[in-house]
Amino acid sequence: MNSHFDLIIIGAGAGGYTAAERAGAAGKRVLLIEKAQLGGVCINRGCIPAKTLYQSAKIYRQLQETDRFGVHVDSVRFDMREVIARKGRIVAQLRDGVRQQIERRGGVILEADARLIARKAVRAGDVTYTAERILIASGASPVIPTLPGIDLAHVVTPTELFDHDTLPSALVILGGTPIALNLAAIYTLAGSKVTLITEQPGLLPDIDEEIRSLLLRDLNAIDFHFSAQVKSITEKYVRITDDNRMHDIPADLVLICGERAPNVAGLGLEEAGIDYDTHIHVDEYMRTNLPGVYAIGDVTGISMWAHSAARMAQVAVNHMFGTPDRFRIDTVPFSLHTYPEIAAVGLTEATAKARGIPVRVARLPLTANASYLIENDQQRGLCKIVVDQRTNVVLGVHLYGGECSSIVVGAAAMLEDEFRVQDVQQMIFAHPTLSEVLRDTLYELR
């Protein structure tokens, strides 16, 4: 194998494999190096397994609620063994798809540890490979707390949880991250008693406060302990202090689901002269301080979502090969598969005001939307849109209810192109669809 490439990528998660596909499609010779599995956390141990479990748990819950739609189901059973087997098939299919997409574009995939040894050189195994450009997409790893009992067999991270084919009767989740809340919702839907413990005073501090309050109200089956400290884990309990009181919370399974730390160790960053501390520092074009070396995804600490990594990959590849592009943090959408769902993009009302931006805010219950009412039958939901009072430009869209993740990309496009209120109102939305709520909410500003 020729050891010189146009681009070497370290890490094959959502960012790394997207960069390999984009550069390969542009006719560049690409080497993608991954020490574990293609697809990284998202496909193997994160987004995809979680969404697969969520889909099964959501169907299970919906089948228990069909009477209001005039559909009567006599018996419903949730089989975690079959759910996990289905997850395995989907993950394997997607991972194979990534390999095929890269290889059909001429990319070379190498399973090895990799580290920079010079500005244009990477050592993988016993071989040195060179390239005009290098892209670091090494991701992040779970931060495991130091606690008595942390090594017990029933204490797991999401990696082990997604292969655990027995539904726990009592699941205790340590952490207040979005994935922690996602998994809390999934296992509650499936029938587990779920307790979520976090040192934070609340959940999802970056989410619109009104949306967050609605979510906590509807997730009342989950036992939340905020501002709590875990003292120890035993084979049957998790001991915490909460409001200056000690609690022993029963647990068949304990899930460690706290923060993730960027993978900066062992990459040769210091020797190469790359500017980093807890994460690699980059600009809006994903450039490091070292010419020709870029970094994307979780390792940058900027926006730790798989779709952010994929967009950063596109920006980096475009920039390094001469196409103007930049990463805009304020237009990154996200969705959280709780029940109901949350989806949002852009500034919250509080963030806009903190930046000194005068805003107008429009709100509309999702039950005012015909499609939502048909599909959800009176289940509460909300669309909230933040608009710059001076320019009428849409700054943020915040959605709660049903399958709102299906329309957040439309809201993201509005922000990316700086749509004004009148621009949105002149668009034609298919009827009846949930997307109409994006237009109709803005009429509430009149």
* Residue entry with tokens 């496909």: 43
pLDDT at 2 (0 to 100): 66
237-272: pLDDT as tens digits: 999 998 778 989 999 999 999 889 999 999 999 999
Q: Which residues have CB under 8 Å from 74's CB, separation 6+?
A: none
- Distance, in Å, from the CA atom of 168 to the CA atom of 358, rounded to the nearest integer, reads 49
Regions of the chain where pLDDT drops below 50? none
Q: Which residues have CB under 8 Å from 400's CB, separation 6+?
A: 211, 214, 215, 340, 341, 342, 366, 381, 382
Q: Specify the DSSP element, H or E, that contains 224.
A: strand 223-225
- Distance, in Å, from the CA atom of 114 to the CA atom of 138, rounded to the nearest integer, reads 10
pLDDT at 203 (0 to 100): 87
pLDDT at 1 (0 to 100): 56
pLDDT at 232 (0 to 100): 95
pLDDT at 3 (0 to 100): 85
Q: Which residues have CB under 8 Å from 317's CB, separation 6+?
A: 7, 19, 22, 23, 26, 135
The model's pTM is 0.93
Q: Where are the beta strands (DSSP E) in 226-321?
A: 229-233, 237-242, 245-250, 253-256, 260-262, 293-295
pLDDT at 335 (0 to 100): 94
Angle at 368 between CA 443 and CA 419, to 5 degrees: 35
58-77: pLDDT as tens digits: 999 999 988 989 999 988 99
pLDDT at 150 (0 to 100): 95
